[in-house]
Amino acid sequence: MEASKVIHAFYTDDEVLLDAVKAVKAEHHHIEEVFCPFPVHGLDKAMGLAPTRLAITAFFYGLTGLAFSIWMTNYIMIEDWPQDIGGKPSFSWMENMPAFVPIMFELTVFFAAHLMVITFYMRSRIWPFKDAENPDPRTTDDHFLMEIPVHNNNEEALTSLLARTGAVEINVVDKH
Amino acid sequence: MYQFSGKLKTFSLALIIFGVIGIAFSFYNGSQKTLEDAKHVIEASSSEGHGSSHGEAEKAAHVTEVKKVDNIVSGVHDSGKNVDKTMSGHGAHDDDSHAEHVLHQLQNRPWSAFYVALFFSLGITLLVLAFYAIQRVAQVGWSVVILRVMEAITGNLLPVSILMVLVVIASVMHLNHLFPWMAEGTFDTTSENYDPIVDGKSWWINSTRFVIRSIVYLLIWNAYRFFIRKGSIKEDTANDGNKTYKKNYNASVIFLFLFMITETTMSWDWIMGLDPHWFSTLFGWYVLSTLLVSALTVIAFFTIYFRSKDLLPGINDSHIHDLAKFMFGFSIFWTYLWFSQFMLIWYADIPEETTYFVARFTEYKLPFLGMVVMNFVFPILLLLNSDYKSKPWFVFIGGVVILAGHYMDVFIMIMPSTVGANWYFGIPEISSLCFFIGLMIYTTLRSFSKANTIPKGNPFLKESEHFHYYNIEHSDEGSTDHH
């Protein structure tokens, strides 16, 4: 059943927020989202979020860059037009390999870094002219906000639980 | 406090005794070599073919062809034999002087084998000391619980320093031919051994200054080790508003300054001096990097061992993870310096620089390329993953390969200059390795048993005991321990 209302609980301290997240989790309520003005150490663990796989994608992007640079140097310098440039051995890729290493390194880093960043943007849905999603402008300054969907008329139980965890403000709002 | 384990004491002493017997045997064997043996080796290498030290048979036709182009100075395609001649000071091509050259190489073998292991052991101990000084100067929080481990390893410094002094003095006394510039008549214009290139450097490489410099380096390092060990133990009970701690801090700053200077000149004297015709500007850094990564691996090994014996309260997977990160990072740093040195010389291909790598590439191809795999490819694939870095047995496997690879690196720095194509990994090398491994285990465990296993008076101890890298789940904690 899709919830039509959500509870917004505001906190002013990251330690209080962390304890609140743990308390809500202990009561087996689903936390839809937490908005913070800065990274809160351990929040992902407290919420039980799966670890990111961004580093794994970066590794494969790096391999792609390495393969691309090897193909490119081999095709251009060895296969397509193997000139004698200053006595460098262009008979095979391996013989001239040390000269290609700087480019191999840089392209590996370039692919790994840029493609990973783009992956991050796409997965996080961030792009220019995107409408901001934070429900309250104070969450970018000094307030933390926990968003919990309301199910089966558990509104009152939830509100009292959140009040006990030290929320400074609790609002029940329609889901946008 | 730690009680020196009886089993390990026996084990390390057995290694030392086995090593001594092997070393004594190889020195006896080496001193028995005669000109006849050398001629025999030359004959064997020309009939079996050369260019490969393992004597993989090449065509006899190829041998004669190579002899014809003997006079051509250049070289990637030269055979190993040619390289010998180019590299040797006398450069004469008649048989007897060549035989004498090969004889020196044969006689050098036990010395070189001992010297490689000695330098590796001394270097590791020294870099543990330097890394320890860095931890103090940078006021590092995480590593305080393993400071005593590092201190214990530096207990190895004094015995290896004494052995180093003995080898230096033996070389100056012409008991070996390790350093070609020490040969009789090198600086004498009337001698047929006269070498104008080396003579031009005689203001730096002459026996008196060499001995004085060597002793000064060792004195500085040992003085710091003596002072800091005493100061560190004093810290445990000092209770003087961190006065002792600050004194140790200041001593470490001074040591690091002197260390960077002496480490550079040490690598010129003890390693680059083996090839007096060759020079490289980043050599000091390169030697530093190979010893530093080995030192970190040794620290990780002893830390893992002591932790498995429950001697290091407060240590957790995050500490292992940090050590492994250092091993990983400095493996790549080593590769960067190794490649920078190689590639700059390969690219410009100036004959006086290139001979160094020609000798290594023709006569030591397998270890030369193998070490890049062991010191770079292996660590980068094994230690890239954050989870793997926090598993002690993974770090151990990676460490064994790293240590073997860097032994090979020191081997390739020293052997081509002293024994040339007549290298082999046999009794002299293995027994020297056993001796120094045994010595390091013995001295480390002995000094570890003489002080608290954790530095109780260090102001950063608490921080170190609670050190936690955010995405490492410690194997010995519940889910409630971290927030």
Q: pLDDT tens-digit profile of A159-172?
A: 889 999 888 999 98
Cβ atoms B145, B454 nearer than 8 A: yes
Q: pLDDT tens-digit profile of B378-389?
A: 999 999 998 899
Q: pLDDT tens-digit profile of B323-335?
A: 999 999 999 999 9
β-strands A5-11, A169-174 pairing: antiparallel
Nearest to A42 among B339, B384, B483 (CB): B483
pLDDT at B365: 92
β-strands A144-149, A5-11 pairing: antiparallel
Residue A42: pLDDT band with limits 50, 70, 90: confident
Q: Is the pLDDT of residue B226 over 60?
A: yes
Chain mean pLDDT for chain A: 92
Rounded CA Rg of chain B? 24
pTM of the predicted model as reported, rounded to 2 decimal places = 0.88
Query: What is the DSSP secondary-structure string of B5-65?
Result: -HHHHHHHHHHHHHHHHHHHHHHHHHHT--HHHHHHHHHHHHHH-SSSTT-----HHHHHH
pLDDT at B68: 38
Q: Is the pLDDT of residue B483 over 90?
A: no
Query: Which three-class secondary structure state does DSSP give residue A42?
Result: coil
* Contact at CB, A51 and B384, closer than 8 angstroms: no
Distance from CA of A42 to the nearest CA of B (A): 5
To the nearest 10°, report the CA torsion of B55, B61, B65, B70. 40
AA identity, residue A84: D
* Contact at CB, B384 and A59, closer than 8 angstroms: yes
Kindly identify which residue of chain B lies nearest to residue A52, measuring between CA atoms.
B471
Q: pLDDT tens-digit profile of A83-130?
A: 999 999 999 999 999 999 999 999 999 999 999 999 999 999 999 999
Cβ atoms B271, B417 nearer than 8 A: no
pLDDT at A137: 92
Distance from CA of B384 to the nearest CA of A (A): 9
* Residues of chain A positioned with their CB less than 8 A from the CB of B483: 18, 22, 42, 45-46
**Of B89 and B343, the one with more pLDDT:** B343
* Contact at CB, A98 and B384, closer than 8 angstroms: no
Kindly identify which residue of chain A lies nearest to residue B482, measuring between CA atoms.
A42
pLDDT at B37: 81
* Residues of chain B positioned with their CB less than 8 A from the CB of A87: 349
pLDDT at B94: 54
Q: pLDDT tens-digit profile of B103-130?
A: 888 888 999 999 999 999 999 999 999 9
Cβ atoms A69, B318 nearer than 8 A: no
* Residues of chain B positioned with their CB less than 8 A from the CB of A41: 470
pLDDT at B29: 86
Q: Is the pLDDT of residue B479 over 70?
A: no
pLDDT at B5: 83
Q: pLDDT tens-digit profile of B23-73?
A: 999 999 888 888 888 888 887 776 654 444 444 434 333 443 444 334 333
Q: pLDDT tens-digit profile of B344-366?
A: 999 999 998 999 999 999 999 99
- Substitution target in A41, A95, A108 with the highest count of B β-carbons within 10 Å is A41
- In 3D, which of A10, A46, A47, A13 has the Cα closest to residue A145? A10
Q: Is the pLDDT of residue B230 over 80?
A: yes
Q: pLDDT tens-digit profile of B185-206?
A: 888 889 888 999 999 999 999 9
* Contact at CB, B343 and A101, closer than 8 angstroms: yes
pLDDT at A3: 60
Chain mean pLDDT for chain B: 87
User: What's the CA gap between B293 and B291, in Å, rounded?
Assistant: 6
Residues of B at the A interface, defined by Cβ within 8 angstroms = 339, 342-343, 346-347, 349, 384, 386, 470-471, 482-483
Residue A23 phi/psi, 5° resolution? -65, -45
Distance from CA of A74 to the nearest CA of B (A): 18
* Contact at CB, A59 and B343, closer than 8 angstroms: no
Sign of CA dihedral A65, A70, A73, A76: negative
A28 touches chain B (CB under 8 A): no
Distance from CA of A49 to the nearest CA of B (A): 12
Kindly identify which residue of chain B lies nearest to residue A85, measuring between CA atoms.
B347
Lowest mean pLDDT among A10-14, B39-43, B307-311: B39-43
* Contact at CB, A101 and B471, closer than 8 angstroms: no
Which chain A residues in 35-74 lie under 8 Å from chain B, judged by CB atoms? 41-42, 45-46, 51, 55, 59
* Residues of chain A positioned with their CB less than 8 A from the CB of B482: 42, 45
Q: pLDDT tens-digit profile of B263-300?
A: 999 999 999 999 999 999 999 999 999 999 999 999 99
Cβ atoms B483, A18 nearer than 8 A: yes
